[in-house]
Amino acid sequence: MQKIIATLFLASLATFGSVQLSSAHGFKGGEIFIDHPMIQEAPPGARVLGGYVTLQNNGAEDDRLIAIESPAAEKVDLHQSVVTDGIARMTPLSEGLPLPAGQIVWLGDNGTHAMFVQPDRRYAVGDELPATLIFEKAGRVEVTFKVEERSTELAPGHGDHGQ
Ligand SMILES: [Cu+2]
């Protein structure tokens, strides 16, 4: 289960403070506040892009991110990278990402990420990708992922995946 994570979230803000400030953007779907959906810039020809987003459940009921769709990619998977003996492996988040009532969850914690497979073109820093987040209760919410500079803090080993 995902651990929630005020502390890690704050740590990430510290790490990416300037980026966060310069490109903060948020969306709202029902009781879910969707903060700062971002994608890490990848080298030309990359077949996958890693996406990250902060999800704040302000409601009284638990919810769940069950899927992401994007017209800019062949498909989007929810993944978790687990590093075992120095080798990163991807496992699907088959139950989605749980969003307990009153909690902030970062898709990005513990190696979790959205994987945009086969993007339709190269996306560079500053570009935007449209996507729809699909929640169990809050339903479908349209958002925009912004492309930012790559950081090794996110999804260890992701660069080795699928390339
Ligand atoms: Cu992945």
**pLDDT at residue 154 in the model:** 67
Position 148 pLDDT exceeds 90: yes
In terms of C-beta density within 10 A (0-12 exposed, 13-18 middle, 19 or more buried), how is residue 108 classed? Answer: buried
Structure tokens at 160: 């080795």
What is the domain extent for residue 103? 6-160
Q: Which residues keep their CB under 5 angstroms from ion ligand 1?
A: 79, 90, 115
Does a structural domain hold residue 94? yes
The DSSP call for residue 14 is H
Does a structural domain hold residue 129? yes
Does a structural domain hold residue 30? yes
Ligand 1 center to 161 CA (angstroms) = 6
Does a structural domain hold residue 1? no
Does a structural domain hold residue 54? yes
Does a structural domain hold residue 53? yes
Q: Which of 138, 145, 109 is nearest to 32 (CA)?
A: 138
The mean per-residue pLDDT over the stretch 86-110 comes to 95
7 Rama class: left (phi>0) / alpha (psi -120 to 50) / beta: alpha
Ligand 1 center to 139 CA (angstroms) = 24
Position 62 pLDDT exceeds 70: yes
Q: Is residue 113 within 8 Å of 4, Cβ to Cβ?
A: no
Ligand 1 center to 79 CA (angstroms) = 5
Ligand 1 center to 91 CA (angstroms) = 8
Number of domains in the chain: 1
The mean per-residue pLDDT over the stretch 82-105 comes to 94
Alpha-carbon span 63 to 122, nearest angstrom: 33
Ligand 1 center to 60 CA (angstroms) = 31
Ligand 1 center to 41 CA (angstroms) = 14
Position 138 pLDDT exceeds 70: yes
> Which CATH number belongs to the domain containing residue 102 in this structure?
2.60.40.1890
Position 13 pLDDT exceeds 70: no
Q: Is residue 106 within 8 Å of 54, Cβ to Cβ?
A: yes
